[in-house]
Amino acid sequence: MNQVDPEVLDGVLEMLNELAGDWEYDGEITPDTRFLADLGLESLDIVVLGTLIQHRYGRLPFAEYLEELGQRPVEERDVTVAEVVAFVCENRQPSLEEV
């Protein structure tokens, strides 16, 4: 498992804070914030967020990730910001600067 890149964490948190107004969420968003229980996201919100993350970090296997989440028991489907950041870090393609 890859280490979480602090720049990716900061970027995802920044993105979420920009979108929080659209979700009518005014609390603090941290790595422990859960997408369903805390932010109250609907499935369409999660798909849009996945698209935005891919625009920033490159193509990721989000469809497979969401499918895997859907296979979990209902009480285990919610994920935290930190879990999504870990997914991005593990699956993103290295930039030209990192090669």
68: CATH:
1.10.1200
Owning domain of residue 54 = 6-91
pLDDT, mean of residues 28-42 = 93
Whole-model pTM: value is 0.86
Percentage of the chain modeled with pLDDT above 90: 60
Higher pLDDT, 52 or 2: 52
Q: How far apart are CA 91 and CA 42, in angstroms?
A: 24
Question: Looking at the domain assignment, is residue 96 inside a domain?
Answer: no
- Model confidence band, residue 99 (pLDDT cutoffs 50, 70, 90): very low
**Residues whose CB is less than 8 angstroms from the CB of residue 66 and which lie 6 or more positions away in sequence, other chains included:** 46, 47, 50
Q: Tokens for 63?
A: 């469809």
Domain presence at residue 86: yes
- 85 in Cβ contact with 3 (< 8 Å): no
Residue 1 lies in a domain: no
**Number of domains, the chain:** 1
81, part of any domain: yes
In a domain, 97, yes or no: no
Decide which of 56 and 24 is more confident: 56
Q: Is residue 16 part of a domain?
A: yes
